[in-house]
């Protein structure tokens, strides 16, 4: 599984907690804390638990910042991560699940390169950057 927009994925948990029958703004979330997925990123936990390899990449460039294999962080690039994930809640959710190293360490190597290629990797939705300008369909081979 390739994840290009982690915040969008985490929004699934936010939307799951919305009370569609709410009559007041205060009743939109059954529990006020349920809008903060950083405390319980269930969708991310399920993906990592059920899918053998989850790759996280920056959506505009395809640069990979993390790869989780069989539930363990196998690749980490803090520099790309900090550029790709700017939302504090999203960072807290990712870090609670992936537990990246706190010290600045050089990224481990990836045998297939350090970025996803929009022409080689399946994604649902559109890539950002120059890939978004392509006339090809959103689901790419």
- Closest among 64, 44, 51, 76 to 1, alpha carbons compared: 51
Average pLDDT rounded to a whole number, residues 35-49: 84
pLDDT at position 134 is 44
- Work out the percent of the chain whose per-residue pLDDT is above 90: 40
Could you tell me the pLDDT band of residue 34, with boundaries at 50, 70 and 90? low
Q: Taking residues 98-122, what's their average pLDDT?
A: 72
Q: What is the mean pLDDT of residues 33-57?
A: 85
Indicate the domain borders of the chain.
2-16+31-132
């Amino acid at each position: 599984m390739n994840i290009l927009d982690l915040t969008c994925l985490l929004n699934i948990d936010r939307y799951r907690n919305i009370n569609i029958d709410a009559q007041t703004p205060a009743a939109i979330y059954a529990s006020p804390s349920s809008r903060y997925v950083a405390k319980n990123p269930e969708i991310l936990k399920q993906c990592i638990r059920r899918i053998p390899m989850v790759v996280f990449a920056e959506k505009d460039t395809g640069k990979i910042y993390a790869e989780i294999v069989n539930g363990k962080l196998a690749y980490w690039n803090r520099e790309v991560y900090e550029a790709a994930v700017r939302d504090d809640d999203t960072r807290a959710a990712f870090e609670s699940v992936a537990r990246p190293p706190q010290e600045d360490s050089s990224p481990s190597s990836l045998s297939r390169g350090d970025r996803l290629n929009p022409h080689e990797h399946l994604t649902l939705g559109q890539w950002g950057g120059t890939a978004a300008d392509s006339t090809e369909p959103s689901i790419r081979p």
